[in-house]
Amino acid sequence: MQNVHAHAWDQDLHFAPETIHEADISRGFRIDLSVQFDAFMADMAPFDKVLLFGMKARLNGYWVPDQYLADFIAKAPDRLRGFAGCDPTQPDCMEELRFGIDVLGLSGVKMGPIYAGIDPRDPRCHEVYAWCQERQLPIMTHCGTTYNSKAPLGFSRPWLWDEIAIQYPSLKMVLAHVGHPFCEECLVVIRKHPNLYADISALYYRPWQFYNMLIAAQEYRVTHKLLFGTDYPFAKARDSIDGLQNANHLVEGTLMPRVSHEVIDSILNRDSFALLGIH
């Protein structure tokens, strides 16, 4: 099994104090967002491969240096890969990316336009897209809502990435969290573009939305574009796997449609690293 969405950071070093406080909103209770290597690896036991990011977004007080991520990955290089952080509002964005990819050997680029306060269609982002497409580097982007009050929701809409995919057809991109709560919008965007995928991380704990997203994915015939992820430390591995396997629990004893077992197994067993070209 593979996990394409997990985080590594030191919240005290890398997050602004108000950002730590706002994280409580995500689950409605206090979450310890610190990531310790041993606890992290214990949680990741079900996975052969894990894709990791920090986050760079000045507007909302996130800044995880790529060097920190690379050092974390170097402790388990056979199982961990990572993406360089990218905040296109910062003038040295491309310089940082070149260091993260060329010097540190990271495998792709992580964006969070809603956190950075930038429209994904902004001209400042296009150098990143063109560079990644040319170098066959995949992009993982946050998509959908968040709890940070300064993050503009308008920049989280999945349809914005339709325009990017039209302009950069061979750029591989993953829209995180199936763009919740705009899941159907996300599904129709990834349906159109062969190189666009979505990860299902951090959705199982909203079981009604999660169930409806999976049914919609079946109806649109895009379940083969859904990648498994957890969004550690916001959600743990075992809970996330159980959440997917139990996706039909809400509708037991009803005539409501079912998420097929084949779909559930295929999401869990997908070789996402191969689809994204991560070695």
Task: Give the footprint of Zn ion on this chain (CB under 5 A).
Answer: 231
Residue 59 CB, nearest approach to Zn ion (Å): 17
Residue 123 CB, nearest approach to Zn ion (Å): 26
The token duo for 16 is 């602004």
Residue 12 CB, nearest approach to Zn ion (Å): 19
Our CB check for Zn ion shows the closer of 43 and 231 to be: 231
By the 8 A CB rule, do 148 and 17 touch?
no
Residue 261 CB, nearest approach to Zn ion (Å): 28
Spell 72-96 as b/e; 16+ CB within 10 A means b.
bbeeeeeebbbbbbbbbbbeebeeb
Our CB check for Zn ion shows the closer of 22 and 231 to be: 231
Residue 199 CB, nearest approach to Zn ion (Å): 9
Task: Give the phi and the psi of residue 254 in degrees, each rounded to 5.
Answer: -120, 175
Amino acid at 192: K
Residue 149 CB, nearest approach to Zn ion (Å): 18
β-strand partners of 6:
52, 232
Closest CA to 140 of 194, 85, 211: 85
Residue 1 CB, nearest approach to Zn ion (Å): 18
Our CB check for Zn ion shows the closer of 66 and 231 to be: 231
Our CB check for Zn ion shows the closer of 26 and 195 to be: 26
Locus of tokens 């689950």: 27
β-strand partners of 163:
none
CA distances for 9 relative to 14, 42, 101, 137, 239, angstroms: 7, 16, 18, 22, 21
Which residue has its beta carbon closest to Zn ion?
231
Q: Is the dihedral of CA 243, 159, 114, 85 positive or negative?
A: positive
Residue 237 CB, nearest approach to Zn ion (Å): 14
By the 8 A CB rule, do 201 and 226 touch?
no
Our CB check for Zn ion shows the closer of 87 and 231 to be: 231
Our CB check for Zn ion shows the closer of 11 and 248 to be: 11
Our CB check for Zn ion shows the closer of 5 and 270 to be: 5
Our CB check for Zn ion shows the closer of 56 and 259 to be: 56
* Start-to-end Cα distance in the chain: 15
- In what side-by-side order are the strands of the sheet with 226-227? 2-7, 49-53, 80-86, 108-111, 139-141, 173-175, 196-199, 226-227
